[in-house]
Amino acid sequence: MARATATGLDLGATHARAAVVEYERTNPTGSPPKVLKFAQVPLDPAAMKDGVVENAPLVSDAIHHLFKSNHLPVKNVVLGLGGSHVSVREIELPKAPIDQLRASLKYMVQDQLSMRVEDAILDFYPTDTTDTQVRGLLVAALAESVQRTVDTVISGGVTPSRVDLTAFALARGLARGPYGQGVIGIVNMGASATDVVVLADGIPQMTRTLPYGGELVTESVMRACSLPHGEAERMKLALGLNPPPAGHEAAQAASAQILRRAQALVEAVGQTFAYHVQRTGQQVAGVLVTGRAALLGGLDRYLATTLRLPMARAAIDQLASLEGALAAGMDDGVRSDLAVCTGLAFGGAK
């Protein structure tokens, strides 16, 4: 069977990451893909904000270094998009061929957007049909922000073959094997935000981006304890959601901030799942957790206990094969970062 390769490029709040993936050309979600390369470089704190390029030279320099120093292919690169300049909502449209629906979106949804329709790039992802209606996800992205991101990537020496929503990439990368059956929730925790995606038999039904991330927890600890960033990060990771040492005021103050942020996250995730049940009648049967911020000690257990749902960490080893040297040098944090990049690469299937 013919094989093909593509590269997924993910621009996060703290790092630019890329994965080169080999898959079956005619069935990219069929047999297990192979991750040939994975690399990342840190981004300056001023480079990105909420998924939007803030400082184009900083980002383009990082992308140039990422691809050149790691000898990554610049052909068939899929760029991930997310953040405040992208909105996704569930809508129903009159039944019609998908090409016709997409061509008519700006006339049918202009009163449902949080931005002017002439300023938006629109797409529609169908999820279900009836005799008269098509249900699906309306994706609206601020055209100016998308173009700025694409231009910045091109300035870094890489011309994307396409762009894709990071939430859809998560579904594509993780909805395999046991995770591709039934109704499951994906919770991907990054540095500045958390993506929540509900899948039914591997098809995205809804997605939300929540204002919770590992870096936000660190900043809360910094303020509460008057600590520099590095010390606050180390304290956060040392404490997790475990009880703080008795008599240690700084640790107790930090622990209170960590718990406050975790409670806000769990409440928002629970509300997202409840809305899905109310809208569709489908109960979420389990949750798949990924992302570097999800490695905070005790967080997955806290999610499972509070939401009363089975919880599992996304095991990239079970979903894709890793080249020997790559697997040997990969820690849990890097493994957690692979889901988005891998799913983006699947979007390059031709």
- Our measurement of the distance from residue 144's CA atom to the centroid of its chain's CA atoms, rounded to an integer in Å, reads 21
75-91 residue pLDDT tens: 899 999 988 788 888 88
**Residue 324: per-residue pLDDT:** 64
Q: Read off the pLDDT band of 348 (50, 70, 90).
A: low
CA-closest candidate to residue 348, choices 159, 83, 194, 67: 159
CATH class, domain 3-86+138-214+263-346, is alpha beta
Q: Which residue is listed with tokens 């005619």?
A: 26
Most confident of 172-176, 202-206, 212-216, 220-224: 220-224
The residue-averaged pLDDT of 136-161 equals 94
Paired with 204 in beta bridges are 199
Q: Read off the pLDDT band of 323 (50, 70, 90).
A: low
**Residue 195: per-residue pLDDT:** 92
Contact 17, 10 (CB under 8 A): yes
210-220 residue pLDDT tens: 988 999 999 99
The residue-averaged pLDDT of 32-42 equals 88
279-315 residue pLDDT tens: 889 999 999 999 888 889 999 889 999 999 999 887 6
Q: Which helix (H) or strand (E) holds 140?
A: strand 133-142
Task: Encode 10-44: b = buried (16+ Cβ within 10 Å), e = exposed.
Answer: bbbbbbbbbbbbbbbeeebbeeebbbbbbbbbebe
- Our measurement of the distance from residue 348's CA atom to the centroid of its chain's CA atoms, rounded to an integer in Å, reads 17
Give the domain ranges of the chain: 3-86+138-214+263-346, 87-137
10-19 residue pLDDT tens: 999 899 999 9
- % of the chain at pLDDT higher than 70: 93
CA-closest candidate to residue 188, choices 321, 18, 9, 12: 12
